[in-house]
Amino acid sequence: MNEGFSKASESGYPTERKAAFLKLFDSIEIKKGDIIVLNYVPGEGLSSQHKSKEAGSTRSLGTIAGLDFKKALFAIWLGPKPPVQESLKKEMLGN
């Protein structure tokens, strides 16, 4: 995530709320099979949920306000030069 945020910042996306976002995950242990759901709600912000396969439960982790932050985070996977695999971006967009 840190590398992704660095690349997003280099592309002009604001990442000053990165620390607050990453802190949302301090209280959980992510295991293979778990799902992290990121959902942007206009006027509210980017909400995060952890769906634990092992526990069979879903837990809200919190919300980070701002469309600009959502754009910075999503740029990690969907931006013009995503630091993750270009092929993953194409698959996420259905290409």
C-alpha angle 3-87-13 in degrees, rounded to nearest 5: 40
Highest mean pLDDT among 14-18, 48-52, 68-72: 48-52
pLDDT at 84: 65
pLDDT at 24: 92
Report the number of distinct structural domains present in the chain.
Answer: 1
Mean pLDDT (whole number) for 40-67: 92
Mean pLDDT (whole number) for 60-89: 82
Q: Token pair of 82, please?
A: 């995503």
pTM of the full predicted structure?
0.76
Domain range holding 77? 2-92
Residue 36 has pLDDT above 70, yes or no: yes
In degrees rounded to 5, what are phi and psi of residue 11?
A: -85, 5
